[in-house]
A and B are shown apart, each in its own frame.
Chain A
Amino acid sequence: MQAYEKVSLARAAGRPTALAYIHGVFDDFFELHGDRFFGDDPALVCGIAELNGLSVTVIGLEKGGSTQEKISRNFGSANPEGYRKALRAMKQAEKFHRPVVCLVDTAGAYCGIGAEERGQGSAIAANLVAMMGLKTPVISIMIGEGGSGGAIALAAANEVWILENAYYAVISPEGAASIIWKDAGKVKEACEALQLTAADLARLGIVERVFAEKGDVFAALREALGQALPGYLALPAEKLTEQRYEKFRKVGRSEL
């Protein structure tokens, strides 16, 4: 399948969003609101849930279902307070040695006046430093759109997984088309060139697992998380952060 078709599927109306996975994969989700500084960002949901008897912190970028909900959730584009809420949830998870599972589905972090005033760059940067040093396991799953900085802000993880028809890219294909090709019509070319599909990302060593989108995807994820998380939880903190560091350290490492 062409990269462009994958991107279209990742964005398709009716595709399950983060809350569907939260309820489909985990049990007894209890949502936690607010960043304790500015407000509560509905584009990012987080809370505590159970998976095979394990307490888990779950964080998801939520696009919303109905038009009204999409608007109230800003189409899944989080503001700084969303990323700061996620950081609070991750720090809490670290305190209680709960694993963190992030569900990523966003066209990108929000680009607005308020987002800049409240430090979108600073918020994402803080998440990256904190996640790289987090003394509890983190697994991030790309379930739809993995839009650039807004996606990696929840994906500095021990493992990054992706669904077959999700994508993960440095810039939106539309952005790349207009900047590199200077032609908004070159979106298909941009999709190919960016190598953003699940298969591309697996080949490039960016994702550890690709999940087929057939049968019971929730059950497949539940099983995979149930297998992976206990192993990571058993690792001493240094091993855990070392593994995460090396995962990213090797990307683009020049031969010395």
Chain B
Amino acid sequence: MGLCTGCSLLCDDIVVELDGDKIGKTMNLCRKGHAHYNSLGSERLTPSVGGSQVGIEDAARAAGELLAGAENPLLFGWEGSTLEAQRAGVDLAKKLGSAIDGPSSYSQGMIAEKILAGEIPTCTFDDVRNFADVSIYWGDDPSSSHPRHMSRFSYFPRGEKRQKGYEEDREAIVIDVRKSPTAQIAADGFFKISPGGDGAFIEALTAALAGKIPKVEDKKRMLNLATKLRKAKFGAIFTGLGLAHSLRGDLSGFTALVGKLNELARFSVIPSLGDYNTRGFNQTLFDETGHVDAVSFKDGVSYGRKFGIARFLDSCDAVMVVGSDPAAVLPAALARKLAKVPMVAVGSHRTITSGLARVSVPTAVAGLEAGGAGLRTDGVKVEFDRLVGSVHLSDADVIRRIMEEV
């Protein structure tokens, strides 16, 4: 059985027929997973230094030298890396006394951190499949971002206490600013909010749950939703970037709402995290420092937004980007700052970020060309073997090799 590292669901039921040392026929992959499998043959990163092709050894040496010569290096990315590479990355950051950060610092890191700290209750997808009768997708469109979310776990499947599946046993509620593909599936369960309106929705729903008249246009509908949630036996809330950005990191209202819901029934939160091992990096860094992003090891362990990439770019003099493409995501002004910092890019594929790098070190694609482990977005550990051979080292081996040069 193969596994897919195309997103943080880490689907482990992929049937793969091998054609020699190549991937042949596959079953159970979604459209995105197919594209991920097919990407093995295109846009691969090659080892280079200063724009010239070199061998992997020379690239790793140049990477180590670039980092070792810096006063204020930043190690960024890691969410598309194996647990083994993430562990090696934290060790490298400690050795260098560098800052370490990932895309969580501008996405759902705050929600993930509260879950890991036990301040927001969570559960596994297996619990959701077996017990959940209400699934709330909040600023989250898994039909697009995590295509098998609803079919494997959260809406369509039968489960231990949910033998009738979505037809009778499950309710989908979507809170979003647009009628996303997930909202189309939820049909009557779609609550359209205005851009930035999540805070007001939280307030109105909290009021309705407390039996007060909510301050919204359609009071009846909000009261009906509160009644539905009061009757729930097991609720799951899936959060997306839309919620995190709308609340601008202030999760107090959301945390209070989840607390209120838990007075009525068990309600758990699972963030729909982006890259396949975002949760793994969150956990790895949290176990070491108590934080999921924006950490510096310069003087012991320090944490703060100033160590997140958006601010740290002002003071850093070298950056290593691992398994990530921040130049494609960050505002152009920050991407231009990133372009001016001497950079090492470590990854399997060519990206906008790797095009800015002084040193490029390619890796095998985890789950296809290299084994390892990752944490699914609900925190369940998934181990995997390689399916086919590769000329490239695994990401963990590349990081360890670079560390030898530091």
Chain B associates with chain A: no
> Which residues of chain B have a CB within 8 Å of any CB of chain A?
none
Contacts from A to B (Cβ < 8 Å): none
